[in-house]
């Protein structure tokens, strides 16, 4: 499961608690990744979540879909420069 634009990590934490075999929390904002790590640890889910700070919006759809069965996309269109990239996915 990929939580793209994870923010505070709520989606990734929920996925880990729901039994997802693999959870990746992704955000380009370092503060968001730090918050995700803190929240995961506070909720006992830190062992099951991989943090990734790489910009994955440019990745090929096939590559992403081969790696992840589920993609949860956060609020990624709050910046106009991301809207075009996000809508093309």
**DSSP states of the chain:** -EEET-TTSHHHHHHHHTT-S-EEEE-S-HHHHHHHHHHHHHTT-GGGEEEE-S--TTS-HHHHHHH-S-EEE-S--SSHHHHHHHHT-
pLDDT surpassing 90 at residue 86: no
Give the tens place of pLDDT for each residue, 10-33.
Answer: 999 999 999 999 999 999 899 999
Please give the pLDDT value at position 74.
73
Is residue 49 scored above 90 in pLDDT?
Answer: yes
pLDDT at 85 over 70: no
Q: Which domains does the chain have, with CATH numbers?
A: 2-87 (3.40.50.150)
């Amino acid at each position: 499961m990929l939580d793209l634009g994870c923010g505070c990590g709520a989606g990734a934490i929920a996925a880990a608690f729901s039994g997802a075999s693999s959870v990746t929390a992704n955000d380009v904002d370092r503060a968001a990744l730090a918050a995700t790590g803190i929240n995961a640890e506070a909720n006992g889910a830190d062992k099951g979540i991989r943090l990734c700070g790489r910009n994955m919006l440019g990745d090929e759809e096939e590559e992403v879909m081969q790696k992840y069965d589920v993609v949860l996309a956060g609020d990624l269109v709050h910046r106009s420069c991301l809207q075009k990239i996000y809508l093309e996915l």
